[in-house]
Amino acid sequence: MLDGPTPTRRPAQARRMTSHARTAPNRDHFAAETEQFRRELLAHCYRLVGSAHDAEDLVQETYLRAWRFYGGFDGRASIRSWLYKIATNVCLTALQRQRIRVLPSGLSGPCDGPDRPPSSVAPDEVSWLEPLPDSWIAPADDDPAAVVVARESLRLALIASLQHLPARQRAILILREVLAFSAAETAEILDTTTAAVKSGLQRARARLNELEPEPEELLEPTDQRARALLDGYIAAFERSDANLLEQVLRTDATLEATPFREWQAGRAMCIQMLDAYVLGTPGDWRMIPTTANGQPAAVVYRRDGDGELRASGTVVLAPTAAGVSRVIAFEDPALVATFGFPDVLAD
């Protein structure tokens, strides 16, 4: 389910700081002790809330609170677990005011047939899951084990399933199985008992198994086969060639796109819908490869009435040895800037 290499944990003595009772905190000292955890805290907040932009705001709030209380930090816990306690509770408070974030497949079953264009959902009806650029959370030291853990725990299918867990169960599962905190440490972070943590983890595991009983074996985005599938998908759109999609998509592939309610299951249905309403003519689309959620992805541009290639959104693929099993498109022009690309692309 969430198996993977356990992150390296420093000995308790090494994690504790020798002098934490401060009356006049020093900003340079604070930054030196806390900045190294910013990327992993961003990934943690994203797992909890399912939005890259919300996660960024919540990490900022975490650091503001940490600075406010830094002078009273006494070192009874590691600085890392102290920051996770603040971040987790900031997220849980935010989740009390928010609807869960979903994908179209979380709203209803697949569409019977593409007899009409997909219908968009009003912004006030649904909160959509967002992709997370890998560049935001890539481990600074490029530790291979940390990279694998980060990728596997940020797959879009897993993030989508996590959103359907009650918030505290979600936090327990992430703290225990992704971040490898002990039951006692998790209880301390959540201000609860070890027994409550164990019970919550058991319920969270059972629910997650219902939502995603057999997680797929996805190819790493660095795998040549994964890159070939992404290149083929991009070529199919840029050439408006539905036949190319047959070489890329698995027979049982699914296709969904926010903010649209309908989604397709099965390669034939996916291609039929894309060919009828999306592909257009050669030159309408331009895509630039990137990675998101530990998966191959692309930022997407579409030619407008003036002939300019304008930001359209992003697409994330789930590559397997037999082909792409799932395509999730996010039609939100603002996401292109999130991935570090311009709003208008030079032709």
Per-residue model confidence as pLDDT tens for the chain (347 residues): 454 444 444 444 344 444 444 445 688 889 999 999 999 999 999 999 999 999 999 999 999 999 998 888 877 789 999 999 999 999 999 999 989 999 999 999 999 876 778 889 988 899 999 999 999 987 655 555 556 556 789 999 999 999 999 999 999 999 999 999 999 999 999 999 999 999 999 999 999 999 887 788 999 999 999 999 999 999 999 999 999 999 999 999 999 999 999 999 999 999 999 999 999 999 999 999 999 999 999 999 999 999 999 999 999 999 999 999 999 999 999 999 999 999 999 87
Same domain, 150 and 231: no
With CA atoms as reference, report the closest residue to 293 among 59, 91, 137, 115.
Answer: 137
**Which residues does 260 contact at the CB level (< 8 Å), separation at least 6?**
104, 118, 119, 120, 121, 331
Same domain, 42 and 170: yes
Given 165, 184, 211, the domain boundary residue is 211
**Which residues does 276 contact at the CB level (< 8 Å), separation at least 6?**
114
Same domain, 198 and 247: no
Given 181, 211, 241, the domain boundary residue is 211
Please provide residue 103's backbone torsions phi and psi, each rounded to the nearest 5 degrees. Answer: -110, 165
Residue 175, classed as helix, strand or coil, is helix
CA distance 255 to 275: 13
Q: What is the pLDDT of residue 12?
A: 41
Torsion on CA atoms 276, 265, 255, 48, rounded to nearest 10: 150
Q: What is the pLDDT of residue 215?
A: 80
Q: What is the pLDDT of residue 4?
A: 44
Find the angle CA(332)-CA(53)-CA(154) to the nearest 5 degrees: 90
306 is a domain residue: yes
CATH, residue 299: 3.10.450.50
Same domain, 229 and 309: yes
Q: What is the pLDDT of residue 17?
A: 40
Residue 326, classed as helix, strand or coil, is strand
Distance of CA 241 to the CA centre of its chain: 30
288 is a domain residue: yes
CA distance 314 to 160: 17
CB 331 within 8 A of CB 301: no
H or E, element range at 310? strand 309-320
Same domain, 33 and 82: yes
Helices and strands per DSSP (H, E), number in the chain: 15, 9
Enclosing domain of residue 318? 224-345
Residue 329: count other Cβ atoms within 10 Å of its Cβ. Answer: 21
314 is a domain residue: yes
CB 178 within 8 A of CB 149: yes
The b/e string for 177-190 (b: 16+ C-beta within 10 A; e otherwise) is: bbbebebebbbbbb
279 is a domain residue: yes
Q: Is the peptide bond before 333 cis (omega within 30 degrees of 0)?
A: no
| Two structure tokens written together for 111 | 């569409």
Give the number of residues written for the chain. 347
Beta bridge partners of residue 327, listed in sequence order: 255, 317
Query: DSSP character for 213?
Result: S
Same domain, 96 and 32: yes
CA distance 283 to 230: 18
Same domain, 228 and 207: no
Residue 124: count other Cβ atoms within 10 Å of its Cβ. Answer: 6
With CA atoms as reference, report the closest residue to 157 among 321, 336, 328, 345.
Answer: 328
298 is a domain residue: yes
Given 188, 211, 234, the domain boundary residue is 211
324 is a domain residue: yes
Q: What is the pLDDT of residue 147?
A: 60
Same domain, 246 and 309: yes
Domain count, the chain: 2
**Which residues does 261 contact at the CB level (< 8 Å), separation at least 6?**
104, 107, 108, 118, 119, 120, 121
Same domain, 151 and 300: no
> Alpha carbon of 206 to those of 106, 157, 176, 187: distances in Å?
18, 16, 15, 20
CB 159 within 8 A of CB 50: yes
3 is a domain residue: no
Same domain, 206 and 232: no
238 is a domain residue: yes
| Two structure tokens written together for 156 | 């879009």
Same domain, 84 and 199: yes
Helices (H), 179-327: 183-190, 194-211, 224-238, 242-248, 267-277
Same domain, 34 and 107: yes
Look up residue 246 and give its amino acid: E
- State pTM to two decimals: 0.89
